[in-house]
């Protein structure tokens, strides 16, 4: 997710039926009505697999980041992780991820392959890159920092597909890859995004008024734009397309779906959104990403398809980038 550089109810009258597939009820008739309306598929994985996959994903991201930046340092570029410490952290993170996968008898070769491909892509990029000033690596007009972020996004997709398709032999539809009827799901997604955006703007204004700078959302759109050398096309491809697809596959397609049977719709929505927020680490980004997670999760729950959620997520990030590019000084 990308937070906007400035200030950011779900209709419970009747269940929307946007998806074209049939799913089994996830809850019992005794539960509150709002907590029983869901079009998500009935999957075999549950909270344990969600926790393991989330932990492995975080370790994988740390390993790719640490290895990549250590390689960049050795190549003579200025990075935030110095060699050899980056290698130590990367090896430790990869070892912990592998140990956890073997301990839980989870598929490990796709995760290790994602690690190897991610690190390899970054290493080759640094070797072929040129210094465009201040130790910044650039490959054919694309900063290696952007390439590194793309490699890390692959960790979310690798883990989600590995645990669903390989461990439980589940079809792609189990991650929400199902067709929808017309434009209504996407209009609904945009509406939910606008509601979430309005709440976020009120939140930011309250923080500014109270002087709580620590929780003010960081301008990640401007940061990504700076890393891309101001290239609007490269930035939108990364944060408006690649990032949203990867994050929706994991947080909505895998995590939210895996929690619903055990915790019900309401608590699963809260838990998956909280995890989405915590993965962004920065204190100022947690609340905005949590709020966005609630909106995107509700879109997925009500449409039964991951596509509208991806669309709304990509729209949010793209708007943030466009504002950072053209509406700020």
For 191, phi and psi rounded to 5 degrees? Answer: -60, -45
Cβ 12 vs Cβ 266: under 8 Å: no
Residue 206: how many other CB atoms lie within 10 Å: 12
Q: Quick one: pLDDT at residue 313?
A: 96
- Check: pTM over 0.75? Answer yes or no: yes
Cβ 65 vs Cβ 79: under 8 Å: no
Q: Quick one: pLDDT at residue 8?
A: 43
Q: Quick one: pLDDT at residue 270?
A: 96
- Beta bridge partners, 143, equal 138
Q: Quick one: pLDDT at residue 45?
A: 95
Q: Quick one: pLDDT at residue 137?
A: 82
Distance of alpha carbon 135 from alpha carbon 76, whole angstroms? 8
Distance of alpha carbon 86 from alpha carbon 64, whole angstroms? 10
Give Cα 11 to chain centroid, integer Å. Answer: 25
Residue at token pair 């290696």:
144
What are the residue boundaries of the structural domains of the chain, listed by start?
1-43+178-329, 45-169
Q: Quick one: pLDDT at residue 210?
A: 82
Take residue 23 and report the two structure tokens written for it. Answer: 């799913």
List, for the chain, all residue ranges whose pLDDT scores fall below the cut of 70.
1-38, 134-135, 141, 214, 216-231, 328-329
Distance of alpha carbon 117 from alpha carbon 114, whole angstroms? 5
Question: CA end-to-end span of the chain, whole Å?
Answer: 22
């Amino acid at each position: 997710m990308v937070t906007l550089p400035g200030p950011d109810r779900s209709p419970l009258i009747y269940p929307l039926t946007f998806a074209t597939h049939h799913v089994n009820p996830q809850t019992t008739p005794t539960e509150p009505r709002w907590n029983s309306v869901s079009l998500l598929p009935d999957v075999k994985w549950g909270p344990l697999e969600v926790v393991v996959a989330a932990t492995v994903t975080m370790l994988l991201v740390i390993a790719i980041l640490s290895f990549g930046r250590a390689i960049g340092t050795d190549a003579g570029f200025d990075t935030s992780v110095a060699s050899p410490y980056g290698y130590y952290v990367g090896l430790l993170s990869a070892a912990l991820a592998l140990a956890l996968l073997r301990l839980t008898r989870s598929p490990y070769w796709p995760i290790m392959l994602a690690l190897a491909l991610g690190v390899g892509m970054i290493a080759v990029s640094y070797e072929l890159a040129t210094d465009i000033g201040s130790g910044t690596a650039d490959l054919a007009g694309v900063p290696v920092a952007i390439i590194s972020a793309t490699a890390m996004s692959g960790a979310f997709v690798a883990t989600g597909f590995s645990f669903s398709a390989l461990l439980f032999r589940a079809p792609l539809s189990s991650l929400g890859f199902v067709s929808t009827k017309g434009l209504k799901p996407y209009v609904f997604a945009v509406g939910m995004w606008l509601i979430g955006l309005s709440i976020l703007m009120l939140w930011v204004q309250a923080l500014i008024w109270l002087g709580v700078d620590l929780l003010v959302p960081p301008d990640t759109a401007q940061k990504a734009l700076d890393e891309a050398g101001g290239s609007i096309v490269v930035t939108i491809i990364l944060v408006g397309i690649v990032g949203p697809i990867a994050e929706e596959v994991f947080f909505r397609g895998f995590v939210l779906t895996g929690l619903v049977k055990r915790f019900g719709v309401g608590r699963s929505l809260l838990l998956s959104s909280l995890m989405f927020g915590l993965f962004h680490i920065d204190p100022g980004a947690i609340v905005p990403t949590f709020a966005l997670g609630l909106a995107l999760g509700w879109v997925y729950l009500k449409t039964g398809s991951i596509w509208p959620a991806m669309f709304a997520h990509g729209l949010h990030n793209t708007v943030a980038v466009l504002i950072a590019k053209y509406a700020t000084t």
